[in-house]
Chains A and B, each alone.
Chain A
C-alpha cells in the first residue's frame, strides 16, 4: 500500500510501498502538483521502476516549467536504485 500526503507548503510525504499497483493512483496525485515541491521518502520502504517513472515524469514537468523538485530522506536501498539508473547524478536528491 502507498499513502501520499501533500501539504500546502509543497511537501509530498510518501508512506509505504511505491509499486506498479499504486502507479495509477500516484500518477493522478503527482500530476496535480503544479508548484515547486519536495518529496519526502522517510517513510517509503520500497520503490520499483513504476514508481521511479512517476518521479522522473514529475521532475521533468516541474523543472521544465521553472519549478524545483527535490527528493529527501531516501533510505539506502532506494537511493541505490536511483543510482542504478544514474538518476542520482541528474536529480536533486538530498
Chain B
C-alpha cells in the first residue's frame, strides 16, 4: 500500500502521476495500467478541488493491490458530502448540437471502474474505486 497527500491544486497532477507510476513499478504492475489509473484519479481529484469549496486540507490518495485488482482511494477531509455514485447519468447518445463541452469526468470514472464506493463519515469523504489489472 502507498499513500500520499497532495495539495488541492490542479498543478498537483504531475506529482500524482509520478506517484501512480512509482506504485505500479513497486508492485511490478505493467506500466500501461497507468492510463486508466491516472484517468480515475485525475477525474476524482479535480472534482474534489473544484467542488469541495470548503476543503482546505490536502487530499489523500491511497493505492493498494488486491490480487489482480487495483484499489484506488481518495480522501477529502472536513468537506460537505458529495456522493458521485448518485450523480446523474450522462446521455451518450445525444447529437453534437445538444452537447456541452465538459461534464464527463465522473462518467469516465464509472465507465473505467469495476466498482465505485462512497463513504462519508465525520465530514470526511472517501471514494474507493477498483479496477482489474491488465496484464
The answer to whether B101 and A56 touch across the interface, beta carbons within 8 angstroms, is: yes
Can you report 20 A-B residue pairs in the complex whose CB atoms are below 8 A from each other? A1-B14, A19-B13, A19-B38, A21-B11, A46-B38, A46-B39, A48-B39, A50-B46, A50-B105, A52-B104, A77-B36, A81-B39, A84-B92, A84-B111, A85-B90, A85-B107, A86-B93, A90-B96, A90-B99, A91-B96
- Residues of chain B having any CB pair with chain A under 8 Å: 10-11, 13-14, 17, 35-36, 38-39, 42-43, 46, 90, 92-96, 99, 101-105, 107-108, 111-112
Point out the residue from A1, A19, A90 that lies within 8 Å of B42, measured CB to CB. Answer: A19
Residue in A closest to B112 when the chains form the complex, CB atoms: A84
Contact count band on A: 20 to 34
Are A81 and B96 also in contact (CB < 8 A) when A21-B13, A50-B46, A56-B101 are? Answer: no
Q: Please report whether the interface of chain B is mostly helix, strand, loop or mixed according to DSSP.
A: helix
In the A-B complex, the 8 residue pairs with the closest CB atoms: A86-B92, A57-B101, A49-B105, A53-B101, A53-B102, A49-B104, A84-B111, A90-B96
Chain A nearest CB from B135 CB (Å) reads 15
